[in-house]
Amino acid sequence: MTTSHVDTNDKQEAVFPLDKPRIDMARIEQAVRTILEAVGEDPDREGLIDTPARVARMYAEIFAGLHQDPREELSARFHVEHGEMVLVRDIPFYSMCEHHLLPFFGTAHVAYLPHANVVTGLSKLARLVDVVAKRPQVQERMTNEIADVLVSELQAEGVLVVVDAEHLCMNMRGIRKPGSRTMTLAARGRYEEDVRMREEVLQMIRYHG
């Protein structure tokens, strides 16, 4: 298995403009018909006649994150007695590469060190990943956006996000290397500054006992 490691540390405040026009189902359907005709198919033949509408519904689902603010997923917060590190590992996700509009998918591992003993619900971390994933993008940006939301909304003292994904644009076209995986990492705060602390979290992510 070929593994590519990309360390992404471009820190910037997460910005999620939500004033985009809503998904235009009719335009998607027409565009799919045009593509089918352009590749030499008959969009009115049996088997394809309902395809444009199906694709429009699919895009509305898989790009739903364009019209959701992931910061809202962290609105539930709690005070706990001890402010120890929180790690949710192996969060499955599906996203779309913005270069070829082909899926990339895999798992995200999200860890944060609470500030002032304030935490969010464990399920909220999975929801955060889900919302950020549902948009056309590159894996590097997805990784950083998850980390930046945790910093901005929870004021976490440390954040570490690792994303491990397989890209169909590498598997089924171009270089055609099925089984290759891409790993991206975003570290913030104490997990960026302290190598020992960062390695402890990475060891926990790698542990499969």
What are the catalytic residues? 97-100, 139, 167, 169
Q: How far apart are CA 165 and CA 94, in angstroms?
A: 9
Q: Residue 176 burial by CB count (10 A; 0-12/13-18/19+): exposed, middle or buried?
A: exposed
Whether residue 113 contacts residue 193, with contact meaning beta carbons closer than 8 Å, is answered with: no
Is 97 marked within a binding site? yes
Cα 111 → chain centroid: 15
Is 100 marked within a binding site? yes
Q: How far apart are CA 172 and CA 195, in angstroms?
A: 37
Task: Show binding-site residues for Zn(2+).
Answer: 97, 100, 169
